[in-house]
Structure formats: structure tokens, C-alpha cells
Structure 1
Amino acid sequence: MASHEPLPAELNRNRFPTLFEVLSRKTVAPLDLFSFYIYMRDQQRSVDYLDFWLDVSQHLQLCRLYVRRLHRSVIEDTPELEKNSKRSSYILDNAGEGPSGEKGNVSDQRLSAFLRSDHGSRNHSPQNSQGSAHSNRSTPGRERPPRPSFMTLDTNSPNDSSSPGQNSSADNVPRREDLRASAEKILYTYLLPGSEREIIIPQSILHEVQEAIEGPDQRSDPELFDAAKDYVFQAMERDAFPGFLQSKGLGNLVPQSMMIRLIIGLISFFGAVWAAFILIFLDKSRVTRCWLILPFTVAIYFIFTHQYMLDPVLALIGLSEYTLMDFNRIREPFVKSTLTKRSISVLGMFLLVDAALCCLFILVPGKRL
């Protein structure tokens, strides 16, 4: 039942979602995070920015899990602190994931402050628990999972499988070394010049992050990535997200499909015009020339779908194209109503232009040469 709680808010949203709502997994197809990932990968060619955002969010989850385990071990050793456990758990479970200005950042700062203080990390560290000898082989921060890893990571759910109130394998308990390894992996994968998936950020931000991780403080708290995360968020919001809304919110076709439709439409149009002139100059009857309706209809329909990035028939039956010839149901209510209105308008214009061309070449008097 908990997984369906956000749905009423989504159904009542009479607008396009914001980028933060998409990244927070508060949207559904075709404006969901998976669609945005495909758009960034196939059309923007800048999926590394989104992967950086997702890996920093995953690093935040690792830090939350570490502190939650540490908090649990402290409570087990000092039962009199149990009265304060609910408030502390609430702070940890509601740490924000968005830009630094978003709601929830206060608890995010508390989490980072706790990790920087490192109080009790040696005496009450989760790695001292039974089974921690195996944690180095299978920790969440050791290896970045294959993309799209966000499909299995629910960052909004405080009651995940690794929460203090549930049993979980000791092999999944993160250690302080895992937090540092995760922070270093983000730095060496995305930020340093010449790295495997380098993203372009201001040098001042890069130097701050590098100094925080490699300097004497050797920080691994999630707050050290705040400036870079904000910059990446603003870059995606400015450069990529408007195109994503136009592509998926106002249309339902991908560029490859649009190009194929344009080629077929132009070929059909020139073939229809060529056939029309032949039939006119052979002085064929108007009944025979009615066959021109077929190529003209195909040509005009495909050209219109390319021009408006929208297949009205598919939109009216509730389908949107993820990748070439891969369709999915439109579940976002506002997008569905918007595409329905646009589809009716496009169909009206298509029928008008198609009828005008067909009437022109069918009713014009023939003249045999």
C-alpha cells in the first residue's frame, strides 16, 4: 500500500513536473526518471551528468545507512538512549536528496556534520559487529552497479531493507572505509580532468571537492558534493530538461522514428505527385485518380508526425515511444490530456491538407498529351 501513496498527488498535478520531481521519482511515464535517463543518453549525449547525480544520491544513501547502523549499535550498547532513537531515526530517514536549497537539506547537513565529527566511529563502528569480516567483499560503495541503477534504488523510502528495525545481512553493513571509497570513486570517475566520464564543472568547485577528499580532512560526507551537485542540477535544468519536456510532454516520438517517417513521407509525396501528373496527362477518369488518396494520405500523415514530433493515433490510444519501435503506456495524466488535445488538432490539420491535395489532383480536368 505504501508504494501507492504518492499517486493521488501525481494525479492532481495539473502541470508538467519539475526536474526535481523527476529526479525524486515522483513522476510516471513518459516523464519518469527512466525516460529522462534515455533522453540524456540518446539525444543529449550527456548522460554522465545524470549518472553523477545518481551516484552522489547513492553515496548519500550509503552514508545514511552507515550512520543508521552506527546509531543502532550505540542504542544497543546504551539502552537508556532509546528514548531519543525515534527523533534521530527520523532525521536520518528524511535526509534530502535535492539541491542545497530544497526541503530536507537541514537533516542532510546534520548527517554530514556527524560524519565529519567522526565521534564514536571507532568504538561503535558497525564493522565491529559479527560478520563484518566479509563486508569488504560486498559493500554498496565498492562497485558502481550497472546503469540504470536508479531503477532499484528507492531514495524516498525510509523503511528500506537496511533500516534498523529490520533484519539484514551483515555482509551489507558499510564501513567508514566504504564511504571514503565511494567518495573517491565519484571524484576519480567524474570530476578529475581526464577521468573516465569527466563532466565539466568550474575549477573552483573541483578544487574544493578534491581538497576535501584528498586533503588532511579526508572527508566522505555527502555535503562535500553539494556545490557540484547544484551545478549539475542547474545545467540539466537549463540545457536538457526543456527539450525533454518538449519531446515527451508534447510529443511521443524519438528522433530516429521521426527521421524514418520524414523519409517515407517525402518519398510517398513525390511518388503521389508523379502519379497524379501521369494520370492527369493520360486523361484518366476521376474514379481512377481516387487511388491517389492512398499515397497522399500516407505522405501527409508521416510528414505531419515528423513536424509535430507526435503520432496522433498512438497518442490517442495512450502510447509513447521510449526508443525506436519500443512503446510504453502514457501514465502521467497531464501529459495524456495534453497529447490528446494536440492529437485532435494535428489530425484536424492533417485531414484538411490531405483533402485539399486529393481534391486538387482528382478534380482537375485531364488533358492527354
Structure 2
Amino acid sequence: MSTPSPTPDLHRRRLPNLFEVLSRRTLAPVDLFSFYIYMRDQQRSVDYLDFWLDVSQHMSLCRHYVRELRRSVLIDTPELDKSGSKRTSQLLDDSQLQDVSGPSTEKPLQDHQVTAYLRRADDPSNHSHTNSQSSAQSRGSSAHRGQRRQSMGRTSASTSPRHAGDSSSSPGNLSSSPNHTVARADIRASAEKILYSYLLSGAEREIIIPQGIYLAIQHAIEQDQRDDPEVFDAAKDYVFQAMERDAFPGFLRSKALGNIVPPSMMLRLIVGLLALFGALWTGFALIFLNYSRVTRCWLILPFTVGVYLLASHQYMLDPLAALAGFSEYTFMSWSRVREPFVKKLLRKRSIMVLGVVIIVDLILCLLFILVPGKRL
């Protein structure tokens, strides 16, 4: 029911923006799936993202409805389409609607075009005007066909009727469309679901937006009986700006500059502190028990483990996993890094972090190995 996902930009030489992530133009670990998990597990505000996605799905539903309506009109009234009738042009061309169900070379429907068409379809005066024009042209075309049949010596009873009845091609009726899957009631139900699920006070998944915005949406849906996508524009823009300001920078720091999640960071901090404390305690014990320097070389292991894990916590990055091309999206669950720019960025940071680990580890090991021992 939704349009195909755009092709990701594999030649991007920068970090993606929020619109590219929401439009599915990015790859892991900065894709929409990773952003959804980040909003759910770390930001604790996944309802905002769900609202934005549901409004986008509502827009796709409206586009699909208008495409099917256009196909229904063209199927039911082929002779009117060929003759360039005023009704067809008024119904479709004035809104500059393009059917995107065919080849990819056709222009997609714009949001304002879908909204204008749906609102005009709800206008009773427009329905009566288009129906009267349709009836007049139908009578004219029927008379013309009758004259042709009479001149050819055929009777009206011996001919099979063509697609008759202009009501089947009216904006509110799609029953004659063979591929019809979306009804106007579906659009109405989608709009009401968004209102009652996210916007009303006390809703199950209520999001915090300015009172004036949700009151305007509530009035438009319940009082004005509107269900076009333009109803949610103000709320959608507000939610987009809130995510872009509050959540998206942290998402990029977590996924484009690091590759581990907070639970894993906490585990590394605990284990790293224990390893470092054990290495220091063992090192002092070996020195004051006057063990040889060869024996004290075993301190390299706990010092390396402790420094590596503490550096991973500090930089939110596991260097070895990043060099191998993996990123953690949930605790102990890894996926491959597929975004080219992010992969290059993580490799550079991994080399830097490994350099820090080697330098600190080398200093500690030399200090505890080379210092002279003295038995107390």
C-alpha cells in the first residue's frame, strides 16, 4: 500500500540527516530500524516516531486511494478520456494528478495535490456539478451511438451495452475498479485512529504537542469531517523538529561515532574496573613479595583487559568489532555496518582508540614490571 523505498545513497560523504533516515535512504547502523530501536530503548520516546510513521502511512493511503480513483475513472469512461471531456479534465487534470502505479518515469503525486483532490471530492456542490456534466455527456454519447447503430441496420436490442452509469465513476464510488483495495472509509478510519491514539488528552500513546495544534486537528476531523493529509501537517512538522533537535544528535553519536549500546557500556565499565583493580593489586603484591620481572610480565593480561574495556566505555566504541565491521543494535546483538561513510568513520576512530589503549597499557605494564622489587 506504501510506495517503494527510495534507493540508499551509497556515495554520501557525510552523515545522513533525519529526513534521509525516515525516508529509508540510509543503511545500517544509521537506518530507520536502528533509529526506531534507539528511540525505544534509549530515548524512551518511540511514540513520537510511531506518530510520524503513521501520518506518513496515512499519506500513502490517500495517494493509493487517489490513484485507484483515477484508474477507475479511466476504465469506466474510456470514450470520455479519449475525447478530452471537461468532466475528466476537471476531475483529474485540474489537480495535476499523476498516476505513479505505472512506469517509474511518471511524476509522483504531491501532498498538496492529494489534499486538494480529497477536499474537493468531499464538496457536495462539486459532486452534483460533475454528475450533471457526466449525465449530459453520457446522453450525448448514447444518442450518437444510437444513430450509428440505426444507420448500419442494427437494432438496439441486438447490441451489448457498454460501461453505463456515471455513478460508478464518481469520486465517492470505486466499486467498479477491478483492483480497488482502498475505500474512503479506510482513510477516515486512519485519520481518526491517529487522532484518538496519539493526540487526544489521555490517549493510549499520547504525545506532547502544543495545545493549539491538537485542538485544530480535533476540530478538523470531528467537526469539519476532514481526513486529508494536510490536517496533520502542523503536528508532523512539530514532531519532526522535536526528534531532530532532541533525539537525532544522540543517535548519530551512538551509531556513527560508536558501536555499543548503554547496557554493554555499563558491563564493560564494571568488568574493566574489576580487571584494572585486580591488575593493580596483583602488581603491588608481586613487587613487595620480590617476584622476578619475568613473573610480573603476566600483569600485561589484566592491564590490557581493564584498559581496553574502560576505553570502550569512554568512547562508546569496541575498536576490534568496529574494525571487523560490526555494530551493536541491542545488547549482545550485532549487525554489519553497511553505510560507507559511517564504516570509514568508525575505522578511523577505532585506530585512534586502539592507539590510546596501547599507550596506556604500555605505561602501566612497564611501570609495574621494571620497578625494582623489595620484600617487606
Tell me the TM-score normalised to structure 2 length. 0.79
Is the Cα–Cα contact under 8 Å of residues 315 and 339 in structure 1 kept in the other structure? yes
Supply the AA of the counterpart residue of 1:114: Y
**Structure 2 match to 1:314:** 321
Matched, 1:241 2:240: no
The C-alpha deviation readout for 1:286-308, integer Å capped at 9, x for no partner, is 00001110000000000000000
Shifted more, 72-81 versus 178-187: the winner is 72-81
Matched, 1:16 2:15: yes
Alignment of 1:68-83 (within 5 A): 68-79=67-78, 80-81=80-81
Alignment of 1:201-240 (within 5 A): 201-215=209-223, 217-240=224-247
Q: Which runs of 5+ in 2 are unaligned?
A: 131-166
SS of the aligned residue for 1:328 comes to strand
Is the Cα–Cα contact under 8 Å of residues 6 and 25 in structure 2 kept in the other structure? no
The C-alpha deviation readout for 1:88-128, integer Å capped at 9, x for no partner, is 3247999xxxxxxxxx8x82011111111115597535755
* Cα distance in 2, alignment partners of residues 128 and 237 from structure 1: 40
Which of 105, 109, 113 is the aligned partner of 1:110? 113
Which of 298, 302, 305 is the aligned partner of 2:312? 305
* Cα distance in 2, alignment partners of residues 263 and 125 from structure 1: 65
Supply the AA of the counterpart residue of 1:88: L
Q: Which runs of 5+ in 1 are unaligned?
A: 95-103, 131-163
Is the Cα–Cα contact under 8 Å of residues 63 and 114 in structure 2 kept in the other structure? yes
Is the Cα–Cα contact under 8 Å of residues 29 and 337 in structure 2 kept in the other structure? yes
* Cα distance in 1, alignment partners of residues 242 and 257 from structure 2: 22
Is the Cα–Cα contact under 8 Å of residues 5 and 23 in structure 2 kept in the other structure? no
* Cα distance in 2, alignment partners of residues 223 and 92 from structure 1: 22
**Structure 2 match to 1:6:** 7
Alignment of 1:56-135 (within 5 A): 56-79=55-78, 80-81=80-81, 88-90=97-99, 107-118=110-121, 123=168, 124=170, 128-129=174-175
Identity score, percent: 63
RMSD: 2.4
The C-alpha deviation readout for 1:304-353, integer Å capped at 9, x for no partner, is 00000000100001000010111111111110110111000110111000
| 1:49 to partner: Cα distance | 0.2
* Cα distance in 2, alignment partners of residues 320 and 253 from structure 1: 7
* Cα distance in 2, alignment partners of residues 195 and 316 from structure 1: 45
| 1:177 to partner: Cα distance | 1.3
SS of the aligned residue for 1:207 comes to helix
Q: How many equivalent residue pairs?
A: 316
Is the Cα–Cα contact under 8 Å of residues 91 and 107 in structure 1 kept in the other structure? no
Is the Cα–Cα contact under 8 Å of residues 320 and 330 in structure 1 kept in the other structure? yes
| 1:11 to partner: Cα distance | 2.1
Judged with a 3 Å threshold, the aligned counterparts in structure 2 of structure 1 residues 112 and 4 are, in CA distance, closer, same or farther, namely closer
| 1:21 to partner: Cα distance | 0.3
Supply the AA of the counterpart residue of 1:308: Y
Supply the AA of the counterpart residue of 2:221: I
Judged with a 3 Å threshold, the aligned counterparts in structure 2 of structure 1 residues 177 and 77 are, in CA distance, closer, same or farther, namely same
Is the Cα–Cα contact under 8 Å of residues 66 and 126 in structure 1 kept in the other structure? no
The C-alpha deviation readout for 1:219-258, integer Å capped at 9, x for no partner, is 0001100000000000000000000000000000000101
The C-alpha deviation readout for 1:144-167, integer Å capped at 9, x for no partner, is xxxxxxxxxxxxxxxxxxxx9xx8
* Cα distance in 2, alignment partners of residues 282 and 93 from structure 1: 83
Matched, 1:342 2:349: yes
Runs of 4+ off more than 3 Å: 82-87, 90-94, 119-123, 125-128
* Cα distance in 2, alignment partners of residues 289 and 332 from structure 1: 44
**Structure 2 match to 1:368:** 375
The C-alpha deviation readout for 1:169-201, integer Å capped at 9, x for no partner, is x5xx12111111110000000001110000000
Max Rg structure: 2
Which of 186, 196, 211 is the aligned partner of 2:204? 196
